[in-house]
Chains A and B, each alone.
Chain A
Amino acid sequence: MTVEILNQEFENNLAQLKSYLVRITASATDAEDIAQDTYLKATEKLDTFRGESSLKTWFFTIASNLAKDNLRAQKRWVENVTDITRAAALSHQEFFQEAMHIRSTSPNGQYEAKEHIAFCFTCISKSLPLEQQLSVFLKEVYEFKVSEITTILDTTEAMVKYYLHTGRSKMISIFEGRCALINKKGVCDQCSELNGIFNPKQNTQEELMKIELVKEAEKGNKEHLFDLRMQILKEIDPFKSKASELQLHHLEHNRKVMEKYLEKKAE
């Protein structure tokens, strides 16, 4: 293995790696830092790479270990994170002023409900136990095999299957109870609400009906709806999408709100 090959492979996988990192940490800064540290560690340890896994799996293993060191020290978020952060945003005028500024000036400041669906999954997934959250992302979004996740998380195949099944079941159950896109009785319709604010000239219902997840909702197949939700995440690069700047601003707000909320709760 040469440094040139490593550099090339790292470059090829960097977008996916950063996407994974920002979704598990909910911090663009942490994602950038961990991606840099992953590169440094990979170059340092290049002579130990035996080729037993792909380089992509190896990069994700290093990155996951670095992220886990940070994440283990933090409290997990709560299922109703979007209620808590919504209330905080409404009482914080600057949040909307900043968001509107991004919306009107940035080429990556568009608002799309689809992007908010991906963002929403990122936030709620932080209520899962850490191993469940990482396993769900690695398998459902970044398409690693169970055997590769076993390497990345340094655990057994049985436990990866357990994390995947319980994590997926939990997320399906949370969205079934909360998401108004798939359940008319769902308590959260922020993606529609924000569409009304950021795209006032659009017919929100019409826009939503363009999304496969919403179109299929009436059939009520929960597993299929979850797969469609995952498809949305696969298609979006949280650092380069048309809505990336707006969504990263929103994510930073939510992270700060949740840190304060969890700190207060622990007192």
Chain B
Amino acid sequence: MTTATKTQNARLNDEVGQGKATTVRTTFSRQTAVSIEIKSDAAIVWALLTKASDYPRWNSTVTSIEGNIALSETIKLKSILDAKRTFKLKVKEFEPSKKLVWGGGQGNRIYTITNSGNGIVTFSMTEKIGGLMFPMYAKMIPSFDRSFEQFAGDLKKESETIMSAK
């Protein structure tokens, strides 16, 4: 690991739980991560993450998701990052209230929910894209930082609103 990468990883660790996205770049890959603390129940966060048709209501980064978010299912996702494109993604891991992974040819998106105690859960989202051809198209892929922060912020707001209802 290079010194620059070590520094980036240290920064990433410092910002865990704050909802600030960090991106670590190497020659052949790019990894963006965000982590945020949510005062809610893991089941609520999980329900929001896995109900495809409900995404546009609470998540300002997702235009639509078609399909069923369940293990081995394929979903079609449209995001604000590229409004014209539909991403076909396969659900690769599905561990209720803990971990969800979906991905396509370029990389995987990993969602994790961990119980931090005192009615707080930590939600993390990571996506690594790359491969040998990565340097050829790296500059054409927009930064994920902003949309990751929006995603995590929206999830926190919606989960906490639901949890605080009487």
Contacts and interface: CB of A to CB of B under 8 A. Distances in A.
Interface of A: 146, 156, 158-159, 161-162, 164-166, 169-170, 173
B43 A158 contact: yes
B57 A161 contact: no
B123 to A, nearest CB: 15
B161 A158 contact: no
Contacts of A169: 57
B162 interface: yes
B54 A161 contact: no
A34 to B, nearest CB: 28
Q: Which of A146, A156, A162 has the most CB of B within 10 A?
A: A162
A171 to B, nearest CB: 12
B54 A166 contact: yes
Given A158-B40, A170-B57, 14 more contacts: A156-B41, A156-B43, A158-B163, A159-B43, A161-B162, A161-B163, A161-B165, A162-B43, A162-B48, A162-B162, A164-B165, A165-B165, A166-B162, A173-B57
B51 interface: yes
Interface residues of B, number: 14
B165 A159 contact: no
A170 B41 CA distance: 21
A206 to B, nearest CB: 36
A164 B44 CA distance: 12
Contact of B44 (A146, A158, A170, A173): A158
B41 to A, nearest CB: 4
Given A146-B166, A164-B165, A165-B161, A159 B47 contact: yes
A155 B80 CA distance: 35
Contacts of B163: 158, 161
Nearest to A173: B57
Contacts of A156: 41, 43
A165 B51 CA distance: 14
